[in-house]
Chains A and B, each alone.
Chain A
Amino acid sequence: MQSAAVGLPDASDDPLTEAVVDLVLRGMWRGRPESEHRPLVDAGLAMAKGPVVLPTERAKATVAQTLRVPAGSEQEQRITAAYEAFLPVNRQIRDVCTAWQCRPDGAPNDHSDDVYDAGVRESLEDVHEAIQPVLRRLEQVLAGSGRYLTALEDALDRFDDGASEWLASPLCDSYHTVWMRLHQELLLVLGISRAEDAAREEELVTRSRG
């Protein structure tokens, strides 16, 4: 792990760091100009596969280290509180996306039923109402996290303008894509593994439902 950070300046606002964090949180870049990813590739932090740029293992390790807040700090505690409020809503948003894509019987949603789709949109509103207080809290303790609410609102606006891929498509900064990125940042910031995350979500969801 120690070697991972070598060659990276400490300052987290350094453009290279900022870029590699963005790449890791997104998981990939598509269609970015070479000038943007060339420095990362040269630094061993990214690899170009055709039109797609992927983070290297080293990049992932570096970003995990960069983003992690000090263990046991007050900041960690406060972010953890926000994260725990995030988790039940995290279950909800996946249910909403699922309902948008599939009818309850598992058949693909062909969007021919306005009432059904409007019902899903209502549950999306519930999610959006529920996540706002969480993100407002998070913004006070995690610098830069305010961008997620902006991006979620942007996706929601586009969705309401009729571009329905802005809910769950992996090919744009859809509501779900932004959400996944937020989730990933929380995990890296708190140093929580996916398995731990899933277990904690299950526990919180079950508990909240008695």
Chain B
Amino acid sequence: MSVTDHQEPGVRVADHQEPGVPVADHQEPGVPVADREAGPSAPSATAGPGRVLVPYGQGRIRGLDAAELGSHGAAVDGLLALGLPVVPGLTVPAGAAASLCATDTAEAAVELVEQLSGRRMGDPVRPLLIRLSASAPTEVAGLPPDLPCLGLSPARADDLTAVIGRADALYEVWAGTVRMIAEYALDVPAAVLDDALLDTPEPRERVELLLSLAAEHGSRPFPDDPAQQLALAARALLNRWDSPRARRSRRAQKLPAELAVALHVQALRIGPADHSGYGTAVSRDPESGRFSPRGAFFPGVRRSAPPPHTGEPLERLAGGTALLEHSLLTLERHLRTPVTVDFEVRDDEISLLAAAPQPRPPLRAAVCLAADLARDGALGHEEAVRRISPAQVQELLHPQLRLTGGEELLVRGLPASPGAATGAVVLSSERALELAADGTRVVLVAAETNPADVPGMLASAAVLTATGGIASHAAVVARGAGKPAVCGAEGLRVDRAAGTVRFGERVLREGDPVSLDGRTGAVYAGTLSVSVAGPPPELTTLLEWADDVRRLGVRVNADTAAEVDTALALGAEGVGLCRTEHQFLGARLPLIRRVLLAADPSARDEALVALERAQHEDFRALLTALGNRPVTVRLLDAPLHEFLPAPGEALDAAEEQRAAALREANPMLGLRGVRLALLHERLYPAQAEALFTAWADVSATGVRPQLEVMIPLVSLPEELAAAAAYVRGAADAVAARTGVEVPYRLGTMIETPRAALLAGELAEHAEFFSFGTNDLTQLTYGFSRDDVERQVLASYRERGFLTASPFARLDPRGVGALIALATERAREVRPGIKLGVCGEHGGDPESIAFCDGLGLDYVSCSAHRVPVARMAAAHSALREPGENSGSTR
């Protein structure tokens, strides 16, 4: 649904500043504001105990803000100013809260609430109770619990239960109220109350017990008079706010120790349970993010915390949801965030108890709202983009099972711990540990979870249980261990003795593969692939707006046509790094091995021809997928050992010997990259010819990809000059053979500190640079990544030497300084030189901002990070004009 139709500019403009907005029409008919203020029966506004009582909606008029009114008082003022219906009530401002402990003020408060609600305490037909709550100037945790039913006495209880039509909830709420007042205002020892309550589970008996304990152990008996109850209740709330636990909570939130709270006295209008109750609603569907009120409605007396599973859907509201929808829309417009409201239903009519921005709204909702507001012109595109952080983009693109429609759904349980995983079924911890020790991914399937299952859960890729909900021990443990989990999968039967799991009729044996998604609760048979979700439509829109904003290009690191397809769909502008060696791992490994281990030149040439042919096919597919976009093809760069057969696995003794001769002490720093190409002089020409020929083929179909040929691991300008000559030779050979002059740029990777330092000289031979920040980081720190990640980084972070892994976040002071220096030197020699980054850093928002700051042309990252990089580049561009942050609200 679009929010346009409901736009009411007047409402938004009115905001809180317009004192002229009438507040009377939401109150009970017949009690207009003026009468309340001036009427003879109204408490005097200038003197006496009523002075400190501020009816809802009048705080601003009296010059009070949230510091005095509390967040609730201020919010209610705002709601009334927007013309929304609000439950009658009043605020005792923070500075005067203690005065409510005096009986005369409490009496005035009771009287005022009676007037505002048009009901009287003790009226048996249209009964009224009072609810007391507290709020601080901002939303905080640790406020005293609300005291929800003041004004009750044993003599009047039967009248009320007769009107409501049920007794249970009333007594429960009443018991809670008396318990709190007994402990915090009448000084009955908590242990006495605890002990007595343990033996008395029934709410009605509890009330009687608590009243007698107050009489026996309290400083005075619990009064019947509503005003006296209210005065004691105020004292209880304020004492509770002053208790050690409340003080600890303020410390934890870094709030002032003496922070004052405002008190709110609200009318609780009692009615028949079929037509009265309370509920909560949010403005947007959490799954789709669309405007569509979601929530629950609880018939009967309002309790502090709605009991779970007892709510009814909003559609069941007899009076309809139109007013609720109107309220939510108005609020969304006004607050510009997804919102949540608490509401009361009395005689099928809704009035609001509270409203606020939804705390941490579901991402889909935030994204949809930003897109909705921008489409309606209520928000600029840039502002909409600003609202969604790169991290949130990442969160929306969580890994999930790739479904094709042919999957066999075994069961659907509760989504208990997010994440998708596949693995072999195991039915015991013992088996899980055994298989996991061999490197097998396993999914622990259990009927129920005992402590004995914990080791199995820790060893598993995911957990599936038949019983228990999302708050079961199993779910808590799974989340604690970061494992995806589906719990409460009904119909699942585990037979450990037989080693089988039954899903209805379907039987799986221990060891059979299953796949599960802890976000949806779905469990499938077999091994499904786990991949990143595509962006939902509204995110696609926002990313397009982000593209309009950003200056930095975003490319993908992709080696195959399939990867290119995925990345283009995610918005990549081209390929920033195609690693040709990746085409040789796997089935093609023998081809490159034959080149490296050839016994003589003719065998080598023969192997090279085979290699060229294979590469030609790969390149043709890749270039076809790419269209007219740019692609940076890196010629072979892999440590030699990745291509050599393991000892003893060569074809014959002679080859074994040749392989042994090639083995290195430190392959990462040995014969790799351009160094290998200079030793095997036909290697790069063969690759380049395959690439150029493929381009010639593809161009015949009308597609003209922008080729960039990249020489890896260069440290000496001479290396680059020599390799460049191979590439030029290959282009000439292809031109001679096909008649096509293939356009291309030639460049190099900057991945050694020496290359960065000699960037000026390298730029004489190179039309572009791509900073290979993974290797550049390794070589700048002298870190071997795998080794330091395992042994060093954790301790360095603990000591505070590093805040993030330099492999995840570009080190701006060292590695970044080298990049800055190389950029500067290269541009001196070749002002238009194209500069990019092609490490994993290309997908990290902070590193992207750094690259953007240097004015690089593009970053290149893995496909699933492309949307994140697009958003990060936009945020970086938006941040530049001197704003200190692009944070979302």
Contacts and interface: CB of A to CB of B under 8 A. Distances in A.
Given A50-B437, A101-B480, A195 B467 contact: yes
A181 B430 CA distance: 19
A119 B286 CA distance: 22
Contacts of B307: 209-210
Interface in A50-94: 50, 52, 54-55, 60, 85, 91, 94
Interface string B320-360: 00000000000000000000000000000000000000011
Nearest to A133: B194
B252 A114 contact: yes
A55 B480 contact: no
B155 interface: no
Looking at chain B's contact residues, the main secondary structure is: helix
Contact of A27 (B142, B169, B249, B453): B453
A54 B476 CA distance: 21
Contacts of A121: 141, 249, 252
Given A52-B455, A113-B359, A194-B467, A28 B429 contact: yes
Contact of A119 (B142, B191, B363): B142
Contact of A113 (B360, B434, B475): B360
Contacts of B286: 105-106
Contacts of A171: 458, 480-481
Contact of A98 (B139, B360, B470): B470
Contact of A118 (B201, B253, B467, B476): B253
Contacts of A195: 448, 467
Interface string A165-195: 1001111001010001101100000000011
A108 interface: yes
B473 A94 contact: yes
Contacts of A98: 470-471, 475-476, 479
Contacts of B661: none
Contact of B479 (A50, A91, A101): A101
Interface string A93-110: 011011001110111100
Interface string A118-153: 110110010001001110010000000000000000
B844 to A, nearest CB: 17
B415 A106 contact: yes
Contacts of A50: 433, 437
Given A118-B249, A209-B307, A24 B452 contact: yes
B198 A134 contact: yes
A95 B471 contact: yes
B457 interface: yes
B172 A118 contact: no
A49 B437 contact: yes
Contacts of A168: 476, 479-480
Chain B interface size band reads 35 or more
A137 B198 contact: yes
Nearest to B395: A107
Contact of B310 (A49, A91, A176, A209): A209
Given A98-B476, A118-B140, A27 B454 contact: yes
A25 interface: yes
Contacts of B395: 107
A115 interface: yes
Interface in B432-455: 433-434, 437, 448, 450-455
A19 to B, nearest CB: 15
Contacts of A176: 473, 476-477, 480
Contacts of A102: 470, 479
Interface in B469-487: 470-473, 475-477, 479-481
A114 B429 CA distance: 37
A60 B430 CA distance: 14
B519 interface: yes
Contacts of A129: 190
A200 to B, nearest CB: 13
6 contacts: A49-B430, A98-B475, A106-B519, A118-B140, A132-B194, A171-B481
Q: Which 8 interchain pairs have the tightest Cβ spacing?
A: A27-B451, A210-B168, A118-B141, A119-B141, A49-B433, A133-B194, A209-B307, A94-B471
